[in-house]
Amino acid sequence: MSSYQIRQLKSSLAKDVLHSLVEAIVHCTLDYCNSMLAGVAKVYLRKLQSLQNMSARIVYGVQYTDVITSSQFLKILHWLPIS
């Protein structure tokens, strides 16, 4: 499921359901073969962090152009930053 599809569904879902859906997709993506990510180049980790940040923006309805710190939303969602 793409971010575009989630954005289309966003208006018809309750916030807690949207949060659960996004969390399931993000964790599935990040957990898939995560042992292979050990020692990977930072450019790939930045892409994963970008996915996580985009997901947090979808859940909270923050526009891409709005300046946010990813840490404040990740704390609220109880997600750890990727490092």
What's the domain count of the chain? 1
Cβ atoms of residues 70 and 57 within 8 Å = no
Mean of pLDDT values over 16-39: 77
Cβ atoms of residues 74 and 52 within 8 Å = yes
The whole domain housing 14 covers: 3-77
What are the angstrom distances between the C-alpha of 72 and each of 10, 32, 41, 77, 79?
21, 25, 25, 9, 10
pTM, to two decimals: 0.62
Model pLDDT, residue 83: 67
pLDDT top residue among 14 and 70: 14
Within-domain flag for 82 = no
Within-domain flag for 68 = yes
